[in-house]
Amino acid sequence: MNFPRLHLVLLDCPDPFELAKFYSALTGIAVETWPGYAPEDMPDIDLVHDSLPTLSFQRVENYVAPTWPDGIMPKQMHLDFEVDNLDECCQPDIMMTA
């Protein structure tokens, strides 16, 4: 049986470049920019890897962040990352903001 493959996960956010930089630092996947555009001016920006789904970040005007677990705005998305050894994987300052 031929199953669909996950190609892209898109996250709405107020500042795509800032969120892309965070996930780039977390995953080691480079931020892909468009020629002729400053990254902070792009309406959306991606992290692209040859063997993984693309992480895409899209600017949404009047974005309202989730207030989960309490509050009126529920969790909108949850991403789990798995590692063999957390201590060897990520810088502590990156993990503290995740």
| Mean pLDDT in consecutive groups of 10 residues from the start of the chain, 98 residues | 74 94 93 90 92 92 86 73 70 59
Q: What is the pTM of this model?
A: 0.74
State CA 39 to chain mean position distance: 15
pLDDT in the model for residue 85? 76
Residue 74's pLDDT is what? 78
